Amino acid sequence: MILQYAILGFLLRSSLTGYQLGKIFSKSLNLVWVASLSQIYRELRALEKHGLVISRQEKQIDRPDKVVYTITEAGETAFRDWLKNYPEELFTEKRDEFMLRVFFGSSMGKDELINHYKHFIEERLEMKKALEAAREETDLLVKKSKSDKDQMTNLDNLSTEFLYRRASMSIETTLHWAEQCLVELEQL
């Protein structure tokens, strides 16, 4: 289960509660791998059953007690093994409702199809803005926490940059595609 490795990857950096993991997922990994809280809680229990993480209860006065999970040596080994070996088959989901609608486009009228493309383009433009905002935010964080010399010299920041770049390029391409489709449809 890939989600388990993602959790281990975060726990390798620091011990965390399920709730904190949920936050981290939605903030840093939302473009790449979505995970709901209840999923995270379940996988944490599964990981503990297999001895890849251990938990300890922490009492709190003002808030409910929390369960902090720490990666074990076995967990670190499992994570590193997974990470270093390129898999025979990469997990990539491909279920795209918009493309399905385009596929059945001839069952729509031309105007309906055009309407679909316009909506789609609007959405991508908003996604583009949201992505740029998120990117600037992480840039600020990096600048705050690192000296100028360190910037972009380590794998961590470079990988984050690559990730944003891919998301951005992907949206840009999709926009070009949709706009071109729209032009050709309207010429019809």
Partner DNA sequence: TTTATCATGTAAGTCGTTACATGATTGA
Partner DNA sequence: TCAATCATGTAACGACTTACATGATAAA
* Chain residues that interact with DNA, rule: CB under 7 A: 1, 3, 17-20, 23, 34-39, 41-42, 44-45, 60, 62-68, 95
Q: How far is the CB of 72 from DNA (least distance, A)?
A: 17
Report the amino acid identity of residue 156.
Answer: D
- The listed partner (a copy of itself, DNA, none) that binds 99, CB under 5 to 8 Å by sort, is a copy of itself
Q: 35, 2 in Cβ contact below 8 A?
A: no
Write out the binding residues for a copy of itself, residues 127-186 only, by CB under 8 A: 153-156, 158-160, 162-163, 165-166, 169-170, 172-174, 176-177, 180-181, 184-185
1: number of Cβ within 10 Å: 9
Work out the burial of residue 9: count CB atoms within 10 Å of its CB; fewer than 13 is exposed, 13-18 middle, 19 or more buried. Answer: middle
Residues 33, 5: Cα–Cα separation, whole Å: 12
Tokens in use for 18?
């399920």
Give yes or no for residue 37 binding a copy of itself (CB under 8 A).
Answer: no
User: Which residues on neighbouring strands pair with residue 66, listed in sequence order?
Assistant: 58
Give yes or no for residue 6 binding a copy of itself (CB under 8 A).
Answer: yes
- 80: phi then psi, degrees, rounded to nearest 5: -65, -35
Residues 59, 77: Cα–Cα separation, whole Å: 30
Tokens in use for 137?
């935010």
Cα angle vertex 26, ends 41, 80, to 5°?
Answer: 65
- For tokens 């922490």, name the residue: 58
Site string for a copy of itself, 70-109 (x = CB under 8 A): ---------xx--xx-xx--xxxxxxxxxxxxxxxxxxx-
Residue 2 or residue 58: which is nearer to a copy of itself going by CB?
2
- The listed partner (DNA, a copy of itself, none) that binds 20, CB under 5 to 8 Å by sort, is DNA
Q: How far is the CB of 45 from a copy of itself (least distance, A)?
A: 21
Which residues sit at the interface with a copy of itself, rule CB under 8 A? Answer: 2, 5-6, 9, 12, 28-29, 31-34, 79-80, 83-84, 86-87, 90-108, 110, 112-113, 115-116, 119-120, 123, 153-156, 158-160, 162-163, 165-166, 169-170, 172-174, 176-177, 180-181, 184-185, 188
